[in-house]
Amino acid sequence: MHFAARVALLCALAASTIAAAAPDDLSSLLARMRARSGPVWSAHLTSSSHVTIGGESADLRSESSGVRFASYQCSGDLCTGSYFDGERVFAININGTALPTSDGGDPFLRGERTIASLAFLDPEFTADGGIISDLGSVEIGGTRYRELLVENGDATAMDVFVDPNSSTVRYLRDVNGDSSFEYLDYRPVGNGLYLPFEVMRNGALLERYDTRGETSDAFTAPHGLVPRFSTGSASVATDPTQTIPIFPCTVQNVPTTCMLDSGNSSLAISVELAQRLQAPKVGSILVSGLGDYATDVVRVGALGVGNATFPPANYMVLHDIHRYGYDVVLGADVLAATTISLDPLAHRIGFAAQLPSGGVSLPLEFQNFVPTVLVQLGNLGTQLALDTGDESNINLDYDFYREHRALFEAQDSRPVSGVGGASVEIFGTIPRVSIGSLALREQSIGATRRLHATAYGHLGAQFLSHFDVVLDYAAGLVHLVPTPSPHP
């Protein structure tokens, strides 16, 4: 649909009511809609379609139950996607690990899902506080529709335009007038359900389904890896000569060395170990660090570390980590599965760790599966990533530093290397850094050219070594307890 037609549609949907309907007509209309659609709001639906991106075909898969909705883009067996739990949106990585990308402020999506799932037709909808108002009839494109206003708590209110002949939703528009949807090509599905197979948004095709169906199993939220815990020791010694946490582990019962990297969005393995394990390729992915490159994703057997055993999973193959003394990188998949503690003085890492009784607890926000916190750099408040895989103390995005050169005076520089390439870090000293109620003075701070930084930079392993750290992704918190003496 070209621009003029789209504007015409939006204007038509803004048309005033032609005639008010009698109050008892609303109950009759909703009853007819329930009879026509079937109990869509309580069904576990699955759908599939496909799209061509950059000349390559990708499969789109989705499942839903009520307002909850998960969608995936898949290339073969490798899928990433997003999940909406009715309040918050989560990103889903290549192992199904889901971490929030929002704080629950998604009223538009909640409103849209209230209509798309037909949750407003649930007989319990109004009993739970939902409101359906009958605004009478309106004419769109020569056809008369019944207009309903649907309100669901703090969700964005939605105007719904119902075809009285078919008793189905034809159009949907948020009351702010920002977006309109059109539902077309209704077909019978499963056990008495009736669903659209084509959805338009603002006049452009949003999705055309190849298949839609109902499944009898319960809808479950994506959860990533689920570890098993033994009764053995819950902590493992880390290499005392290294700033970053490096420790022994096993993969497919082969002894190797792991590094905990909260700056990694998933799991990774060195090309040397992947070849030794003859790990089968399942796809490809673009990795970024000080540079970027396309690499394979392989399927690797069980991971053992401390008292935890993690199931087989997908690992990104990295070509530049073996030289640093480790062959496996444990990122978001492990961190999201259990609480993890770091004790810099005892040089130990713990899994299924207990929460500390002292110190401070700070909320985490996730950007591309990496945890970030609010930090006060001198007089400037900003957001930095907690990156246990970065050896630095405070490592800023270079563009951010150029905008705030007063933060520190560059006193020296050094070459640095990492995933995808090498660069130069300039560094100096900042008089004061505050995180929560904790303050540290005279801290080393730097900025690295070509750094693909999360947020505006990183709080690295050297900075975190001032504290006993417990990372609790499930609760969205990091717990910091100052160590009794400075870390050497």
Q: 224 vs 1, 49, 119, 251, CA distance in Å? A: 40, 24, 28, 18
Task: Specify whether 338 is located in the same domain as 381.
Answer: no
Query: Is residue 127 a part of any domain in this protein?
Result: yes
Domain termination site, one of 312, 343, 374 = 343
Ramachandran bin of 84, using left for φ above 0, alpha for ψ from -120 to 50, beta for the remaining angles = beta
The Cα 101–Cα 176 span in angstroms is 24
| Model pLDDT for residues 38-89, shown as the tens digit of each residue | 999 999 999 999 876 566 667 899 999 999 999 999 888 899 999 999 999 9
CATH of the domain at 468: 2.40.70.10
Give a yes or no: residue 53 inside a domain: yes
User: 75 and 191 share a domain?
Assistant: yes
Identify the pLDDT of residue 233: 62
Task: State which of 297, 318, 343 marks the end of a domain.
Answer: 343
pLDDT of residue 20: 46
Between CA 251 and CA 328 the distance in angstroms is 9
Residue 14, pLDDT score: 43
- DSSP assignment, residue 5? H
Q: For residue 448, what pLDDT is reported?
A: 85
Q: What is the value of pTM for the model shown?
A: 0.88
CB 435 within 8 A of CB 364: no
In a domain, 41, yes or no: yes
pLDDT reported for residue 7: 35
Whether residue 457 contacts residue 350, with contact meaning beta carbons closer than 8 Å, is answered with no
184 and 250 share a domain?
A: no
Q: Are 183 and 45 in the same domain?
A: yes
Question: Does 157 share its domain with 274?
Answer: no
Strand partners, 89: 84
3-class SS of residue 426: strand
CATH code at position 119: 2.50.20
Q: How many domains does one find in the chain?
A: 3
The residues of the chain scoring below 50 in pLDDT are: 1-24, 487-488
Separation CA 484–CA 435 (nearest Å): 18
Residues 187, 233, single domain; the answer is no
